[in-house]
Amino acid sequence: MRLLVTGAGGMLGRDLVAAAHAHGHECAGLERQALDVTDRRAVDAAVADAAPEVIVNCAAWTDVDAAEADEAAALAVNGAGAGNLARAALAVGAQLVQVSTDYVFDGTATRPYVESDPTGPLSAYGRTKLAGELAVLGASPDHAVVRTAWLFGAGGANFVATMLALAAAGRDEVAVVTDQIGCPTFTGHLAEKLIEIAAERRAGIFHAAAAGHCSRHEFAQAIFAATGYDVRVSATTSAAQARAAARPAWSVLASERDPQPLPPWADGLSAYLALAPIAVQR
């Protein structure tokens, strides 16, 4: 399989390129500096040159709070950029696999969200990612959208790295919210699932997040317990830690289309810690 990965410089993009090569696929990765997905002509040229069978789009505006201040800029990347790739893929007979997010939901559910549940984003980021989903599937029903949640991986900013950096700097207490529940998902595990979806040319919407769920507070406790740091995790709420963008309170994803979920989030944490550049306390 010939793959093209956009956003290849990010956590997920790097893991995806590595996973593709490990499985014997031909894979080209384009970082943001090499391809601006908002430039339609550049996208058309890059896709025509690579002649892929499948494109996996990991390029995204991921600064959730900054999107509130500049939704148009976020939409250019997450919405129009995804649409540019979808149309370019169609022109060369390739499939696009678009990576999306739990933030397309409003977080008011009492059970895991599945693919057929209605969307209702709370934030500019969520709205722009939903626009990308619609652009991709509107270009071709043979394209795929893969929603995931709470990503963490080596070589990029993420919740686990933030907690470990605070501990390494000598913090003995951190306040973490108890009212955000989700599925912390290791990018190495998600990359394997994306390769599977691409190889099988699955179409439509899929959910791919770690099995199980926890609160941010519980996740932080697990991080420190696994690394031996003596850091107290005090409880706080989303209201007390006011942010520019609203976060869904319930971000638990499950799939009604895929019988094989990703490994549990605790397994993902263990896999990440084996790779993390920050030394842990044993």
Contact residues for 58 (Cβ-Cβ < 8 A; gap 6+): 5, 6, 7, 8, 10, 12, 13, 16, 99
- Average per-residue pLDDT for the chain: 95
| 258 is a domain residue | no
In a domain, 54, yes or no: yes
Same domain for 226 and 200:
no
Q: Is 100 helix (H, G, I), strand (E, B) or coil?
A: strand
Find, among 45, 42, 25, 41, the residue nearest to 33 by Cα. 42
Q: CA-based angle 15:16:20, to the nearest 5?
A: 120
Catalytic residue among 103, 113, 125, 272: 125
Q: Are residues 195 and 235 in the same domain?
A: no
Query: Are 192 and 52 within one domain?
Result: yes
Does 94 fall in a domain?
yes
Claim to verify: residue 99 and residue 168 sit in the same structural domain: no
Tens digit of each residue's pLDDT (9 = 90 or more) over 73-94? 999 999 999 999 999 999 999 9
- Residues 113 and 168 occupy one common structural domain: no
Residue % of the chain over a pLDDT of 90: 93
Regarding whether 52 and 18 lie in a shared domain, the answer is: yes
Q: Average pLDDT, stretch 31-50? A: 96
Query: Dihedrals φ, ψ of 210, to 5°?
Result: -60, 145
Q: List phi, psi (to 5°) of 233.
A: -105, 105
Is residue 220 assigned to a domain?
Answer: yes
Query: What pLDDT was estimated at residue 110?
Result: 92
Q: How many helices (H) and strands (E) does the chain have?
A: 10, 15
- Based on the fold, state whether residues 133 and 87 are members of the same structural domain: yes
Is residue 142 scored above 50 in pLDDT?
yes
75 vs 125: CA distance, rounded Å: 8
For residues 145 and 134, what is the distance between their CA atoms, to the nearest angstrom? 9
| CATH number, residue 244 | 3.90.25.10
Task: State the CATH number of the domain containing residue 81.
Answer: 3.40.50.720
| 98 and 141 within one domain | yes
Is pLDDT above 90 for 163?
yes
Task: Return the percentage of the chain with pLDDT > 70, whole number.
Answer: 98
- The predicted-structure confidence for 220-279, as pLDDT tens digits, reads as follows 999 999 999 999 999 999 999 888 899 999 999 999 999 888 999 999 999 999 986 554
Instruction: Say if residue 85 is in the same domain as residue 163.
Output: no
Residues 133 and 12 placed together within one structural domain of the fold: yes
Average pLDDT over residues 190-194: 98
> What is the domain extent for residue 37?
2-151+184-211
pLDDT of residue 277: 58
Number of domains in the chain: 2
End-to-end CA distance of the chain: 42
Q: In the prediction, which pLDDT does 279 show?
A: 45
Tokens for 166, please give them: 């605070």
Q: Are residues 139 and 176 in the same domain?
A: no
Residue 125 appears among annotated catalytic residues: yes
Query: What's CA 256's distance to the chain center, in Å?
Result: 19
Residue 109: inside a domain:
yes
Residue 259 lies in a domain: no
Q: What is the pLDDT of residue 275?
A: 85
Q: Is residue 101 part of a domain?
A: yes
pLDDT of 282 > 50? The answer is no
Domain contains 165? yes
Check residue 160 and give its pLDDT.
95
Q: Is 165 found in the same domain as 134?
A: no
